[in-house]
A and B are shown apart, each in its own frame.
Chain A
């Protein structure tokens, strides 16, 4: 709890306690805690002197501002047409099989959340996967599995 207060304090110090600081503050919390819990949103609302409904309403608009618990690592695979034509479905299958979850789900140990997204801006090098901020263009199913196993060797043994 103490730590959280520090985090919020730091973020407000950096981005100010006015409304235009809201997005950077929310991003900062997600970066540290993976998602925006209800108590956290209430605290932020208080600090910025706006209603918590406003904070929730704003956060829920944006796909990067999770309002539900997410895995420590977020895997995104582009599902838009150029990547579809380049074989993104094979990547999806490989990831699902390795992590034993479906698109949209989180592994039980909360290490990975796997989502499909719209165009990620790498269409000439599809299919593309992004884990957190790291980009993997021209990914193959084999390479995707390899990367996941490097991040969490547990999946290696099961595969």
Chain B
């Protein structure tokens, strides 16, 4: 595969002279159902990690009857290896706001929020005036919708949608039981659409360029393109918009520096793909899903250290609310250390794998449920490195 074959896409950051507010204006001339219809037929799925079909989410929220509804933009971006939402909010904030406004029109919300991680507060200097201006523009075109900012306080778990609502309500960021889902019972118990920053930009862009150009990209289950955050052992670290459904081998050809041993796709919550699988795995919802985090590791890197790093991350960031996750993350970390130091036999790794599988089914939220992803994929593929 030649590197030149990797298709770069320019939808998110394109700078065609078309003010995002104009796209909102155009959308207001359409019936909400027509917009939902378009988003559904585009095949767009959430770019925050979970991949829920966006059009369907909007439809569910629209169908709810309520005196108040909310649109929330999830800008809590905390997954290790992800930094694309920061760049999007920095470079094309109006496209994000326009996506929120279109959603508000569709579901009938009058209030919206951007939940911005505290570490991105430096963006506020530009973002606040942009927001004020945009709110004014919305009034001018006759949409009764106001967007406000909410700053996080430093907790990865608050990126989980129900923890995010709790946090906005002034409480500890502890995830809620599901169902009910946010489209019925979200912020302050009201129907809420919560979307990732990037998802909202795609909604805006689909309304501008139409469904077809988007749909032509990607695969049946992973339509369109996506913004990737590339870091680790690469000379091309940075932010790239690529078609979904590309092979891991194509990715490595483009971004690796010739000595790539593994790629961690989807951050600490994601999967590790070893060299032997590069050719038979694709990046997308039917293959290896990702919120955009792509970390490249060369042969000189210790996969034990990498797994340990991820587990330390989870031990610190687990909200501690449920036992499988609180205790499980600690046990996994202690366990791999014990095996490494020869205090436990290598067969103990199998027991740890079982524990991680239990966490998958018994944990309350996506954090605990996704710990086994990195754990199993690293331990299975790099067993010797865990032991010696």
- A residues engaging B (CB < 8 A)? 18-24, 26-27, 57-58, 61-65, 76, 80-82, 84-85, 117-126, 130, 133-135
How far apart are B150's CB and chain A's nearest CB, in angstroms? Answer: 8
How far apart are the CA atoms of A62 and B317 in the complex, in Å?
A: 10
How far apart are A25's CB and chain B's nearest CB, in angstroms? Answer: 9
A122 nearest CB neighbor, chain B only: B83
A121/B120 in contact, CB under 8 A = yes
Check: B309 CB closer than 8 A to any chain A CB. yes
Given known contacts A134-B122, A135-B122, is B153 in contact with A118 (CB within 8 Å)?
Answer: no
How far apart are A151's CB and chain B's nearest CB, in angstroms? Answer: 17
B231/A82 in contact, CB under 8 A = yes
A to B CB contacts below 8 Å, 21 in the list: A22-B170, A23-B168, A27-B151, A58-B170, A61-B173, A61-B319, A62-B154, A62-B155, A65-B153, A80-B81, A117-B154, A118-B317, A119-B313, A121-B77, A121-B83, A121-B85, A124-B230, A124-B231, A124-B237, A126-B231, A133-B122
In the bound complex, residues from chain B placing their C-beta under 8 Å from that of A82 are 80-81, 231-232, 295
How far apart are A123's CB and chain B's nearest CB, in angstroms? Answer: 4
How far apart are B317's CB and chain A's nearest CB, in angstroms? Answer: 7
B313 nearest CB neighbor, chain A only: A118
How far apart are the CA atoms of A18 and B295 in the complex, in Å?
A: 43
In the bound complex, residues from chain A placing their C-beta under 8 Å from that of B232 are 81-82, 85, 123
A20/B170 in contact, CB under 8 A = yes
B155/A125 in contact, CB under 8 A = no
B309 nearest CB neighbor, chain A only: A81
B80/A81 in contact, CB under 8 A = yes
In the bound complex, residues from chain B placing their C-beta under 8 Å from that of A135 are 122
How far apart are the CA atoms of A119 and B86 in the complex, in Å?
A: 13
A64/B170 in contact, CB under 8 A = no
Chain B positions 157-216 with a Cβ under 8 Å from a chain A Cβ: 167-174, 188
Contacts A121-B117, A135-B122 known; list 14 others, CB within 8 Å. Answer: A19-B169, A22-B170, A23-B170, A57-B172, A76-B119, A80-B313, A81-B80, A81-B306, A82-B81, A85-B233, A119-B78, A119-B79, A119-B82, A126-B231
How far apart are A85's CB and chain B's nearest CB, in angstroms? Answer: 6
In the bound complex, residues from chain A placing their C-beta under 8 Å from that of B174 are 61
Check: B239 CB closer than 8 A to any chain A CB. yes
A123/B173 in contact, CB under 8 A = no
Check: B121 CB closer than 8 A to any chain A CB. yes
Given known contacts A82-B81, A123-B231, A124-B231, is B155 in contact with A63 (CB within 8 Å)?
Answer: yes
A123/B155 in contact, CB under 8 A = no
How far apart are the CA atoms of A123 and B309 in the complex, in Å?
A: 15
Q: Which 5 A-B pairs have the closest CB atoms?
A: A22-B170, A62-B153, A63-B154, A124-B237, A123-B231
How far apart are the CA atoms of A76 and B121 in the complex, in Å?
A: 14
Chain B positions 95-122 with a Cβ under 8 Å from a chain A Cβ: 117-122
Check: B145 CB closer than 8 A to any chain A CB. no
How far apart are the CA atoms of A124 and B172 in the complex, in Å?
A: 31
Check: B156 CB closer than 8 A to any chain A CB. yes
Given known contacts A82-B295, A133-B122, is B151 in contact with A119 (CB within 8 Å)?
Answer: no
Chain B positions 308-352 with a Cβ under 8 Å from a chain A Cβ: 309-310, 313, 316-317, 319
A19 nearest CB neighbor, chain B only: B170
B156 nearest CB neighbor, chain A only: A118
How far apart are the CA atoms of A135 and B117 in the complex, in Å?
A: 14
How far apart are B319's CB and chain A's nearest CB, in angstroms? Answer: 8
How far apart are the CA atoms of A133 and B82 in the complex, in Å?
A: 19
Check: B363 CB closer than 8 A to any chain A CB. no
In the bound complex, residues from chain A placing their C-beta under 8 Å from that of B154 are 62-65, 117
How far apart are B75's CB and chain A's nearest CB, in angstroms? Answer: 10
A123/B122 in contact, CB under 8 A = no
In the bound complex, residues from chain B placing their C-beta under 8 Å from that of A122 are 83
Pick the residue among B80, B153, B306 that contacts A64 (CB under 8 A).
B153
Pick the residue among A26, A58, A121 that contacts B119 (CB under 8 A).
A121
How far apart are B374's CB and chain A's nearest CB, in angstroms? Answer: 11
How far apart are B151's CB and chain A's nearest CB, in angstroms? Answer: 6
Check: B229 CB closer than 8 A to any chain A CB. yes
How far apart are the CA atoms of A24 and B85 in the complex, in Å?
A: 22
A21 nearest CB neighbor, chain B only: B170
A126 nearest CB neighbor, chain B only: B231
